[in-house]
Amino acid sequence: MKISTVQLLILTGISLAALCIPTVVAADVEVKLIEPRKFRDIDVTSKSLNKSIEDVHHSLSQLINQVAKEYLKDSNNLIIEVTQVDLAGYMEWTRNAREIRVVRNNDRYVLEFSYRLIDSTGKVLKEGNANIREFLHDSPSKKRLQDSHLVGYMRDDLEKWFKKEFNN
């Protein structure tokens, strides 16, 4: 296949134009658990404490990243250091000796953390502490269907917090 000079110029122009289009870079959000073994309640059903910590960290990081992308500028970085977690519900043993987390309406959860919002030059734009203590008002089973995270029921309250703190 032979390319004419005109076709070559068109392809070159398209390639150069593509280089000028900015790429979308999402804000970087880092979630750290500070001394998670001291958290009030981070146990997840029938798992070791280490595995529970790992699972909650992953779910919390995933949820915060999803919510943050709506409120943060792409060039900013957010560092969240979680200092306390008390998951909704409580652990209970079943008849066949398995441990499960029971979550009901009006169960309370706690999420405490500090945060720093940093721009691309490293300048701290905003920092502070947050203390989210809320009761579940909707059916936990409905929340679980909407969000597969272990901490999915925190979504609405995290969205309210992000909107209050970062909605410019």
Q: For residue range 150-166, what is the model confidence (pLDDT) as tens digits?
A: 888 898 899 999 999 99
**Across residues 132-147, what is the average pLDDT?**
62
Residues forming a β-bridge with 117: 78, 126
With 60 as the cut, is the pLDDT of residue 16 above it?
A: no
The pLDDT mean for the chain works out to 80
With 50 as the cut, is the pLDDT of residue 82 above it?
A: yes
* Within a domain: 11: no
* Within a domain: 3: no
Helix (H) or strand (E) holding 115: strand 108-118
* Within a domain: 69: yes
Q: Is 110 in contact with 120 (CB distance < 8 Å)? A: no
* Within a domain: 31: yes
pLDDT at position 133: 93
Residue 83's pLDDT band (boundaries 50, 70, 90)?
A: very high
pLDDT at position 3: 60
What pTM was estimated for this model as a whole? 0.75
* Within a domain: 20: no
At 50, is the secondary structure helix, strand, or coil? Answer: helix
pLDDT at position 159: 93
Owning domain of residue 153: 26-166
